[in-house]
A and B are shown apart, each in its own frame.
Chain A
Amino acid sequence: MDLVLDINVAVDICTKRQPFYRDADLATGKCLEEGGRLWLYAGSVQTLEYVTRDEFQRSFLIEGRPLTARQLQHHARRVLKAFSSDKQWLAALAEEGSVFDSPDPEDEQLILSLGRFAPGTIKLLTRDEPLRRRYPDLTITPQEYLREPMQPKGMDFVDLAAQQDRFRPGLEFNLHRVLHHGHYILGPEVRELEDRLAAYTGAKHCITVASGTEALLISLMALGIGPGDEVITTPFTFVATAEVIVLVGATPVFVDIEPDTCNIDATLIEARITAKTKAIMPVSLYGQPADMDAINAIAARHGGIPVIEDAAQSFGAEYKGQKSCNLSTLGCTSFFPSKPLGCYGDGGAIFTNDDALAQACREIRVHGQSKRYVHTRIGVGGRMDTLQCAIVLAKLDRFDQEIAQRQAVARRYHELFATEEHGSTPNRKQRSVNFRVLPWPKSDRTSVFAQYSILVQDRDALQARLRAAGIPVAVHYPVPLNEQPAYAHLCNADSTPVAQAIARQVMSLPMHPDLSQADQGLIVAALHVG
């Protein structure tokens, strides 16, 4: 549960007010230890400063060393600055403005602000007894809170809330800016994001689109791929990769994967190229680019077949010093919320250095329109809206840092597993290792670790056990596409034995930049049979 700190509690802590500050200290410590957040209402800043200042003035007077007005201001502000540094600012919204009919407008504002949260997920921590009596379900005193049993800290597969805590000020600013200028479709944030993403990848063009799936679909449409054509791809991917090929009327040709990277095996591609092959679509799975040089070389040898990198999971990764999405004819990514760079809905982008393809993609995403009401080609309604672009923009400045955090988390998993596998303590010898770790990314590329996946035996039972222990897990992906009912007729599953075997064993562990060492330790320990 989160807590909004009422002024009296905040001042107790800041000024060490006797006898209240001890319980207030413990209550805030308990909240954070349970995984909750501490909020300060932005609309109360002035009152907070004044009351803190006044309390300091009183206590310094009692100590017999009165402060000047300047010193008081300096002291109150430096303490408040330190105090607020690990708290979340709860923005004052317009809904909380008109409180003039209330007997206590400030309290009214605080209570109204709680309405933004799901019921039962937040309370106002206060010593104000009348307020406590008036709103018994929304308020709690430090003592009452401390008497409540500790709530176990939950573990998230992807912790978007912790990420949002870091971005909230910029995020709220960007969202409000869009609400005020009102250009919800192709507004200035769309172009700004496209420029910044193009610069980030080094690609000449970036075209934002409605989703990662839409990015793949528009890319195929821009290449003119249609009925009778074949597109070579991997069966070990999310269904969107093959779905779009079928949607344009072409046929997916599935090629098996490498057992170490789970990406398409470039050495097997050439044997599947025919006169009908119009594109190769590798997927940079789990965040690690496929062997793009090898794939591009094969494509070049066969008359320059276009290569579309499905980089839905790998935006930000590098291959031989170049960014994923700028490794082939076209690169497509997704901003699905759980992706390393995600928005708060659907979004995606296409990258290319080809001017004509970029123009085609831009037109196709707006119903094939070259200028207003002139439709020169068949298109779709495939734009990424301005609000979603504004969200990605807020996250972009810190994206590289988050990638580094993800890589550190992955490295820690790797080291913990290495310890477990090679450890020599008696306990470890008795344990049976029922999983295998995929190798660290190859030395010529990096991974953004959209997923951290391992191979396990008896996956269903293991998943059930981990979930019972409060550890969320997922499977990416349980069935190769050539075993899915809608695609099975295209390719015998036995012809992709590696994908078949890995799909039966693969399991993804919690992975996000804020995953703690302690949680990783619990996960690794839980993976071992008791």
Chain B
Amino acid sequence: MQVEAIYDNGRVEFTHPLRLRHDRLRVLVEVPDEEIADLGNPYNLPPEVLARAARMRTHLDEIRNAPLPPDDELPPVSGKILERIEAFTLREDH
């Protein structure tokens, strides 16, 4: 399930209290991109590497952020594909 939480100086707190079975567990937290501070160059990479990585990112982001066509303008997803998606879902290995 997804729940809302507030990050505050290194601590994440749920906005609505939840009773959990364990005292300690792994959760995935979605952090908005714009909140990520520039980490600089932690690996001391040459500027050519940084520039190349940035170019590749810009290109992929352009595709990623392009507007999506309305559902009814897209070809249908076949029953066979949907079955495969379900089968993959069962694997939960990602």
Contacts and interface: CB of A to CB of B under 8 A. Distances in A.
Nearest to B66: A78
A50 B68 contact: no
A466 to B, nearest CB: 23
Interface in A130-154: 146-147, 150
B2 interface: yes
A50 B85 contact: yes
A54 interface: yes
B60 A7 contact: no
B65 to A, nearest CB: 10
B14 interface: no
B63 A78 contact: yes
A74 B74 contact: yes
Interface in A24-80: 25-26, 28-30, 32-33, 46-47, 50-51, 53-55, 59, 61-62, 67-71, 73-75, 78-79
Interface of B is mostly: helix
Contacts of A53: 85
Contact of B75 (A8, A51, A70): A70
A245 to B, nearest CB: 52
Contacts of A14: 60, 64
A254 to B, nearest CB: 50
Nearest to A30: B49
A83 interface: yes
A70 B76 contact: yes
Nearest to B63: A82
A79 B64 contact: yes
Interface stretch (B5-13, B15-23, B38-46): B38-46
A25 B85 contact: no
Interface in B48-94: 48-50, 52-54, 56-57, 59-61, 63-64, 66, 68-69, 71, 74-77, 81-82, 84-85, 88-89, 94
A46 B53 contact: no
Given A29-B50, A30-B45, A71 B94 contact: no
B27 interface: no
B36 interface: yes
A50 B71 contact: no
Contact of B68 (A25, A33, A74): A74
B25 interface: no
Nearest to B75: A70
A67 B56 CA distance: 26
A59 B30 contact: yes
Contacts of A26: 43, 45, 49-50, 53
B85 A146 contact: no
Contacts of A51: 88, 94
Contacts of A62: 2, 30
Contacts of B46: 33, 150
A70 B74 contact: yes
B49 A29 contact: yes
A276 interface: no
A67 B74 CA distance: 12
Contact of A25 (B48, B56, B82): B56
A485 interface: no
A130 to B, nearest CB: 12
B77 A69 contact: yes
Given A74-B68, A79-B63, A82-B59, A46 B31 contact: no
Contacts of B82: 69
A10 B43 CA distance: 21
A71 B82 CA distance: 13
B62 to A, nearest CB: 8
A452 to B, nearest CB: 26
Nearest to B55: A29
Contacts of B71: 68, 70-71
Interface of A: 7-8, 11, 13-16, 18-19, 22, 25-26, 28-30, 32-33, 46-47, 50-51, 53-55, 59, 61-62, 67-71, 73-75, 78-79, 82-83, 86, 146-147, 150
16 contacts: A25-B56, A29-B54, A30-B45, A51-B94, A62-B2, A67-B68, A70-B71, A70-B76, A70-B77, A71-B69, A73-B74, A74-B69, A79-B64, A82-B60, A146-B43, A150-B49
